[in-house]
Amino acid sequence: MIRVTLPAHLQTLARTNQEVELDVPGEATQRSVLDALEARYPMLRGTIRDQVTFRRRAFVRFFACEVDLSHEPIDAPLPHPVASGSEPFHVIGAMAGG
Amino acid sequence: MKGVRVLVGTKKGAFILTSDAKREKWKVAGPHFAGWEIYHLKGSPADPDRLYASQTSGWFGQVIQRSKDGGKTWEPVGNKFAYDGQTGTHQWYDGTQHPWEFKRVWHLEPSLTDPDTVFAGVEDAAMFRSTDGGQTWHELPGLRNHGKGHLWQPGAGGMGLHTILLDPTNPKRIYIAISAAGAFRSDDAGRTWRPINKGLESKYALPDPDAEVGHCVHRIAFHPSRPNVLFMQKHWDVLRSDNAGDQWHKISGNLPTDFGFPIDVHAHEPETIYVVPIKSDSEHYPPDGKLRVYRSKTGGNEWKPLTKGLPQKNCYVNVLRDSMAVDTLDSCGIYFGTTGGQVYASADSGNSWNPIVHDLPAVLSVEVQTLQ
């Protein structure tokens, strides 16, 4: 079980709480976690990463275990505490006004 | 019971304003999609309870929302807008070539006959269509590939396709407009397109006086009974075409400025048109701090200011291109929204005005549904 936290606007869009739990088949990577997230919440497609290029949106970051993982390769294994479910994978919206 | 439903897109959410046919007392519902930019929302002429909304965010991109109950509840539908084939390049602000990149949906235009068919005008400029209620979107690539797409360029607000007019007398005819590419017409339901910009002058932007594309058209409008007669508010000048856009001529006449964004046509008088003059392209507010709608009852050239109920001093708001609409009640109602968050309504063709709301976020779009 992988735990993922979502920023407020995406919680509203997906009609869910801040933290969601996902069954992720195979190795836990950014790609496999986001694939599982979007499969369960299709309305989140395109809001975290581009639907064609799979590039992370510029104002979105991925944190876990007190580390910014945003620039890690999307197929790199996530830290063990994320893979084991003891720590969440945080999807963060940039702190910016507008 | 007859009434109206005013659909307001703002910088921080959507609002739905409803009234009976008197248009004196209003109910305000919203914000829907709080915190998101709602560039546009519009109802289906074939099913007034079917609404579509363009919800966008600098953080989280594009979402399309659909309602089947007149805006009480909404569901997100498809938001994948992938350009067809090679995306190519267009002109950038500095004159260099720049790749086409999808940014957002500026305008949604539901089909006149099928609630599940809806067109989307997007930035970077292109036209998409959905025939399954917004679940999937497919580009009409003939527009972007008409031959001179590389000469299109963004206006200050981006290179958006902002106007879509569906001819009610000819299902194969569609007009669209793009800032800053110009107006285009399709006579084969969107398969092929041709620029319709003869007569437009953009001498400070385009050195070629006969430039086929590159014009900063802000809005076009027609009366549904006479879709060959088009009215245009351009970056500079108000213009008219009596032959479906083949040739345009100026009708700015005695307007106090030649700049502005919206233009619309009275529901029952095809020669009565409305604009909101704005001082200039760098000063996006009304001249002299007076918010005035100008009405021509002669199809242009002769204009009179409409001021009753509108602020006539210290007013420095803007009225954006998609922020004016008309209802079709016997006494035609005119509506417009401002960047100051007011939505003004006139139930008497513009003779007098009242604010429905004063303090919304900046208004990006206004549409009206006349309910039977």
How high does pLDDT run on average in chain B?
96
Burial grade of B95 (CB within 10 A; 0-12, 13-18, 19 or more): exposed
Query: How many contacts, defined by CB atoms under 8 Å, are there between A and B?
Result: 44
- d(CA B101, CA B84) in angstroms, rounded, equals 12
- Bridge partners, B177 (sequence order): B163, B183
Class of the CATH domain delimited by A2-93: alpha beta
Give residue B1's pLDDT: 64
Q: Which chain B residue lies closest to A52 (C-alpha atoms)? A: B82
Give residue B207's pLDDT: 80
Residue B369 has pLDDT above 70, yes or no: yes
DSSP character at residue B68: S
- Bridge partners, B294 (sequence order): B275, B305
DSSP character at residue A95: S
Q: Which fold has domain B80-124+140-358?
A: Methylamine Dehydrogenase; Chain H (2.130.10)
Q: Identify the band that residue B100 occupies on the pLDDT scale cut at 50, 70 and 90.
A: very high
* Side chain identity at residue B139, one-letter code: E
Give residue B191's pLDDT: 97
Contact B63 A9 (CB under 8 A): no
DSSP character at residue B322: B
Contact A47 B35 (CB under 8 A): no
The DSSP result for B297-319, as a single string, is SSSSS--EEE-TTS--SS-----
- d(CA B178, CA B219) in angstroms, rounded, equals 8
Instruction: Return phi, psi of residue A11, to 5°.
Output: -60, -45
CA distances from B110 to B120, B151, B226 (A): 9, 29, 20
pLDDT digits (tens, 9 = 90+) for B254-295: 999 999 999 999 999 999 999 999 999 899 999 999 999 999
Residue position matching structure tokens 């109206």? B4
| Residues in B touching A55 (Cβ below 8 Å) | none
Three-class secondary structure of residue A37 per DSSP: helix
pLDDT digits (tens, 9 = 90+) for B17-72: 999 999 999 999 999 999 999 999 999 999 999 999 999 999 999 999 999 999 99
Q: Which helix (H) or strand (E) holds A34?
A: helix A30-40
Domain-wise residue ranges, chain B: 80-124+140-358
Determine contact, residues B276/B295, Cβ cutoff 8 Å.
no
Residue position matching structure tokens 């086409």? B100
Calculate mean pLDDT across residues B115-119: 98
Give residue A63's pLDDT: 97
Q: Identify the band that residue B81 occupies on the pLDDT scale cut at 50, 70 and 90.
A: very high
Domain-wise residue ranges, chain A: 2-93
ipTM score assigned to the predicted complex: 0.93
Peptide bond into B180 cis (omega under 30): yes
Look at the alpha carbons of B1, B306, B268, B279 in this order and tell me if their dihedral is positive or negative: negative
pLDDT digits (tens, 9 = 90+) for B181-217: 999 999 999 999 999 999 998 877 788 888 999 999 9
Q: Which chain B residue lies closest to A59 (C-alpha atoms)? A: B59
Give residue B53's pLDDT: 98
Segments of chain A scoring below 50 in pLDDT: none
| Closest Cα in chain B, distance from residue A26 (Å) | 27
Contact B80 A10 (CB under 8 A): no
- d(CA B121, CA B322) in angstroms, rounded, equals 12
Angle at B207 between CA B124 and CA B106, to 5 degrees: 20
| Residues in A touching B76 (Cβ below 8 Å) | 13, 43
Residue B357 CB: number of other CB atoms within 10 A? 19
Peptide bond into B124 cis (omega under 30): yes
| Closest Cα in chain A, distance from residue B59 (Å) | 5
Residue position matching structure tokens 């989307």? B120
Determine contact, residues A64/A79, Cβ cutoff 8 Å.
yes
pLDDT digits (tens, 9 = 90+) for B286-331: 999 999 999 999 999 999 999 999 999 999 999 999 999 999 999 9
- Token pair of B15 as six digits: 């609002």
Q: Considering CB atoms only, which of A10, A47, A52 is closest to B82? A: A52
- d(CA B195, CA A96) in angstroms, rounded, equals 40
Side-chain-facing half-sphere of B77: CA atoms under 13 Å: 21
